[in-house]
Amino acid sequence: MDAVNQDWLAPFVAFLVATIGWISREIWLRRKAKRQAAHDAGKILSDKRKLLEDMISKTDDASFKKTLTTQLDEVNAALLGLHGKTLRHSLKEAGYPPTELLVAEGLRQLQPNLKVAHYDSQEPLLLEETHQLQPKKVKELKEAMAKAEALPITDLDRDFLMLLAFAYHSLQQYEDAKCKYNRVLQLNPDDHVALANRGVINIILGEYEDALADYNRALELEPNNPDILRNRGQLYLNVGRYTEALADYDHSLQIKPDNAKTFNDRGATYHTLEETEKALADYNRALELSPDEATVLSNRGTLYLDRLGDYDNALTDLNQSLKLRPDLVTALRNRGTLYKHLGRYDEAISDYKHALEIKPDDPTTLYNLARFFSIQGKTSDALDFLRRVIDKDNRYPEVIKKTKRYYEVLTADKDFDNIRDDPRFKKLIELE
């Protein structure tokens, strides 16, 4: 009886498989047709543009030249729209945005399983940890950029200039991104979004005074913008102006009280000031609002590690952070430090090396490795990594950067006691 009742199952499965295959093929064919149509449209417009440019160059009739120029402007506008759409698609296909990327209100913070990007040129970017592009998509994005840049973009194309700036930012071509924002601001010096976004670029370039000027002007224009307030707070934190940082975070949270990232940033400020209870409260609140924020988990794990000595909770938070973001450098290097404290040296080295694979010149990871090898008595290795910190990157680890005199920090760091009497170490820190 059961066999009779199941006679329908095999044909049904076959029908279902065939239907799914047909639907998949139809979707693929439609996408192929759309790509081909866009390509054909672009070729037709490009050919027409060349023809019009040729005709304009050869005619002496002012009236006819004006008519041709109007037509050329229309063709360029059509190409601009076509390549703008292609550029947005390339950004989307490149995997934007991962959860810790530069994001804006318009570039919504998405769930980890989504990969749809939307950039809104009317909203300011936020300053987050930069996430690398998917390598296989870099070429496509660069090709889209090249086509877009080949067009005669006018100052009236403000949104397109903003899109180009974001694309350059995505490719970590920060000077090019800044040039686009400069061009927007030449047109309208009071464009608060361009000011705020250029402030982000200036921070990345280490041009803190220029960044502060941009944020201050943007906030004169939009005094209650919580995102710009938060960005300026991060700048103040970077340069050690903690009271001002806290004031901006407090103001931002008054306007946008459910922003997990701002709680995280304020927590980081309290963390730096060694106000442990306040830092922990802010990290906890951030995770109540957004439980899967890898950066917050990493920060709270670090607080458990270096302020509370709670290694169990530290390891739990750092493991969870890396489960969500396996490429989060701060979590890797902090877990490496935790493993060092636990005597799990092989795992510590593994985490540090993984962090350097992702960010080869990260000064804090290099510094931590120098300390680690010093503890193990591996003097040459320790000095090699220390030289990389000093010679290859003048943005020293946070503890060094704050003093501006790295040799004082190295002199006081007990992790270097094993190699302190080595002449090479003394020379390196300018004691001789």
Which pairs from 375-379 meet CB under 8 Å and 24+ separation? Answer: 375/340, 375/415, 375/418, 376/345, 377/418, 377/419, 379/418, 379/419, 379/422, 379/424, 379/425
CA distances (Å), 163 to each of 37, 74, 130, 144, in order?
A: 23, 20, 17, 12
- At CA 21, angle to CA 16 and CA 24, rounded to 5? 125
- How confident is the chain (432 residues) per 10-residue block, as mean pLDDT? 55 61 62 55 61 72 70 59 54 43 29 30 50 54 64 63 80 88 91 92 89 96 94 91 96 96 96 95 97 96 95 97 94 95 93 92 87 90 86 48 55 85 80 42
CA nearest 174: which of 139, 199, 138, 209? 199
* Separation between Cα atoms, residue 287 and residue 279, nearest integer Å: 12
Residues contacting 230, CB < 8 A, separation 6+: 126, 248, 249, 252, 259, 261, 262, 265
State residue 115's pLDDT score.
27
Q: Give tens-digit pLDDT for 84-124.
A: 555 555 555 554 433 223 333 222 222 222 222 333 445 55
Average pLDDT along the chain? 76
State residue 225's pLDDT score.
94
* Separation between Cα atoms, residue 55 and residue 247, nearest integer Å: 61
Q: Give tens-digit pLDDT for 400-421.
A: 443 345 666 677 788 888 888 8
Secondary structure (DSSP) of 387-411: HHHHHH-SS--HHHHHHS-HHHHHH
DSSP element (H, E) containing 60: none
State residue 44's pLDDT score.
61
State residue 276's pLDDT score.
96
State residue 59's pLDDT score.
76
State residue 102's pLDDT score.
33
State residue 107's pLDDT score.
29
State residue 15's pLDDT score.
59
State residue 421's pLDDT score.
87
Residue 405 and residue 415 in contact, taking contact as beta carbons nearer than 8 Å: no
